[in-house]
Structure 1
């Protein structure tokens, strides 16, 4: 495996969990899958449609999202929204994300100064 493939694989691993959190945060305002996809990609949270749609179904099955169909337009669309359980998970994940980010920042600072703890 080349260095580029290794890097790509690790970046995909890192993104996998962050996409869940991003969806839970973004879907505090109801939206349909394609708009969510465009929104996340526009923010630099790169996700493929073949990854996102199964993820949305899984999060709904887990009770983290709710959905309803909007049939008022010419093309029916399924709108997703973060459930109260999804809000609780988003809060817990965000807290842990910030803890890990702080720890990594300290590691980098310690590494830059040569301070081994």
Structure 2
């Protein structure tokens, strides 16, 4: 059962991480600053998850990247593209609507309704 539960949790989390990352890229972020920003909001993400996600988002043209070589250590910055901002805003609205519906559904008939109030 724990393998099934873990698999379902990973599946549930996958989409939320995409939305969380997009939400933080309204301003340019490099990998470590993005991890810190997400962790500050209580969302942990491994670099082994983050960088493939960023590459996928860049391939989908939702984010663009550029190198900053002005510091002693070059950093690759990521930021939402115009298209990415449009998609993010649509996904955010969809997430809010889905969350409200699920919240209502999960609270109905639950023996421990206080958990959702």
2: CA distance, partners of 1:44 / 1:12:
17
Listed as ranges, the matches of 1:1-117 within 5 Å are 3-112=1-110
SS of residue in 2 equivalent to 1:104 = helix
Give the gaps of 5 or more residues in structure 1: none
2: CA distance, partners of 1:57 / 1:41:
20
2: CA distance, partners of 1:41 / 1:8:
21
Q: TM-score, normalised by structure 2?
A: 0.86
Q: TM-score, normalised by structure 1?
A: 0.86
1: CA distance, partners of 2:43 / 2:11:
13
1: CA distance, partners of 2:36 / 2:75:
15
Q: Deviations over 1:62-97 (max 9, x none)?
A: 110011110000000000001111111111111111
Give the gaps of 5 or more residues in structure 2: 112-117
Instruction: Using the TM superposition, give the Cα deviation of residue 33 of structure 1 relative to its aligned residue in structure 2, in angstroms.
Output: 0.8
2: CA distance, partners of 1:109 / 1:15:
21
User: CA RMSD, aligned part only?
Assistant: 1.5
